[in-house]
């Protein structure tokens, strides 16, 4: 390939031919990724059914098998988590409270494996070291950002290390927020279906299972949680524990209110359908208020794009012909 002629068009010292080549490569890669994503569509229902079956088997093992056998089967599930646990134990950085907190966050994010908590703790320990060594080598040893001041370079290094330490927590928080948003949207519909099932004479565990099947496609996260609650209601000796597990897996005040209502219904025998109908109406009003709040914020949000993108274009379209006419008139004179 012949080099571009000297003095040709360039942007920031890079000629247009190189820029066009790079953009073509990026576009080709994006097309290949899109084709791969379109041809390898996975069924999320199969993964959820597998997770529920594993939970059912764990509950069966907890009732039938002995404690030592149950612990042995759980320990041998994930060899990678065992290795990570051994490394953390040897470094003496593994605390029980830290593991319990990480497992609770993973449950709220929809990750069923409790052994993955050791991977999260290990990532918090390793990522700052790896990225810290890489950024220090790049900035101070290899001379990157040499034209920056020492304070700015120190800020880049410190920011990279802090971001690497917070990356697992940020990932968990983002995953939890998305899951809670999806569950919050489907909760009023789920309560309406529970009311119908309760009025039809179904038991609580059967009602949860029926609602989980009905909501499996529209709201898969909520359907997954209801199906797991139905399984626990059928296997656990204390039904209150099944409802408390549901509240622990979903970090929402609305779900905690539903759990409190279900526990009171189980304890005192109060009418379930009427209580759930009131909760459903409250949640629907809350969802409508959230929609109205977003609609009220829309004019303020649209102000900046309107000023930056729409008004300049409008001024060019309206005033452009007049400016050209005035410039032609002055040039003729």
**Helix (H, G, I), strand (E, B), or coil: what is residue 114?**
coil
Q: 127: closest CA among 171, 64, 173? A: 171
Choose between 2 and 166: higher pLDDT: 166
Biggest CA pair distance of the chain:
103
- Residues, the chain: 333
174, 203 Cβ separation under 8 angstroms: no
In whole angstroms, give the CA distance from residue 275 to residue 61.
Answer: 35
What is the per-residue pLDDT across 75-99, written as a single tens digit (0 to 9) for each?
Answer: 444 566 666 666 666 666 667 787 7
pLDDT of 105 above 70: yes
What is the per-residue pLDDT across 295-324, written as a single tens digit (0 to 9) for each?
Answer: 888 888 888 888 888 888 888 888 888 888
Q: 55: closest CA among 266, 225, 259, 237? A: 225
139, 156 Cβ separation under 8 angstroms: yes
Buried-exposed string 51-69: b where 16+ CB fall within 10 A, e elsewhere:
bbeebbebeeeeeeeeeee
Within a 10 A sphere around the Cβ of 266, how many other Cβ atoms?
16
pLDDT of 200 above 50: yes
Dihedral sign (CA 27, 32, 35, 41): negative
Residue keyed to tokens 């109205």:
292
State what percent of residues in the chain have pLDDT above 70.
79
What are residue 15's DSSP bridge partners?
10
pLDDT of 73 above 90: no
CB within 8 A of 98, min separation 6: which ones?
Answer: 121
Structure tokens at 253: 């005040």
In whole angstroms, give the CA distance from residue 104 to residue 108.
Answer: 6
Q: What is the mean pLDDT of residues 291-297?
A: 87
Give how far the C-alpha of residue 106 lies from the chain's centroid of Cα atoms, to the nearest Å.
11
CB within 8 A of 96, min separation 6: which ones?
Answer: none
What is the per-residue pLDDT across 224-244, written as a single tens digit (0 to 9) for each?
Answer: 899 989 888 888 888 888 899
Res 170: pLDDT: 92
What is the per-residue pLDDT across 109-129, written as a single tens digit (0 to 9) for each?
Answer: 888 877 788 788 888 888 999
Q: 191: closest CA among 110, 119, 107, 262? A: 262
- Write the Ramachandran bin of 92: left for phi over 0, alpha for psi from -120 to 50, otherwise beta: left
Please, what is the Cα angle at 114 between 238 and 164, to 5 degrees?
140
Q: 94: closest CA among 85, 103, 102? A: 85
DSSP state of 251: -
């Amino acid at each position: 390939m012949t080099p571009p002629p000297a003095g040709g068009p360039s942007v920031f010292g890079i000629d247009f031919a190189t820029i066009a080549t790079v953009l073509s490569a990026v576009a080709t890669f994006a097309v290949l990724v899109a084709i791969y994503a379109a041809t390898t569509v996975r069924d999320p229902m199969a993964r959820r059914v597998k997770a529920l079956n594993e939970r059912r088997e764990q509950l069966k093992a907890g009732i039938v098998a002995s404690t030592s056998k149950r612990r042995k089967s759980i320990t041998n599930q994930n060899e990678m988590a065992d290795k990570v646990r051994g490394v953390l134990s040897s470094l003496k950085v593994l605390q029980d409270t830290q593991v319990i907190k990480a497992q609770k966050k993973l449950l709220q994010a929809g990750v069923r494996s409790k052994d993955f908590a050791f991977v999260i703790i290990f990532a918090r320990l390793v990522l700052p070291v790896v990225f810290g060594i890489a950024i220090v080598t790049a900035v101070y040893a290899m001379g990157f950002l040499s034209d920056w001041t020492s304070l700015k370079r120190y800020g880049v290094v410190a920011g990279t290390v802090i971001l690497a330490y917070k990356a697992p927590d940020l990932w968990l928080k983002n995953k939890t927020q998305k899951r809670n948003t999806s569950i919050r949207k489907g909760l009023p519909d789920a309560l309406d279906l529970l009311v119908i099932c309760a009025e039809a004479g179904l038991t609580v565990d059967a009602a949860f299972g029926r609602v989980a099947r009905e909501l499996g496609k529209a709201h898969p996260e909520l359907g997954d949680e209801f199906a797991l609650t139905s399984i626990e209601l059928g296997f656990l000796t204390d039904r209150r524990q099944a409802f408390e597990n549901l509240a622990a897996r979903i970090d929402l005040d609305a779900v905690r209110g539903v759990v409190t209502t279900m526990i009171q219904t189980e304890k005192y025998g109060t009418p379930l359908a009427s209580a759930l109908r009131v909760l459903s109406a409250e949640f629907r009003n809350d969802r409508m208020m959230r929609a109205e709040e977003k609609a009220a914020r829309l004019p303020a949000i649209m102000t900046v794009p309107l000023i930056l993108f729409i008004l300049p274009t409008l001024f060019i379209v309206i005033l452009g012909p007049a400016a050209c006419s005035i410039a032609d008139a002055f040039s003729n004179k």
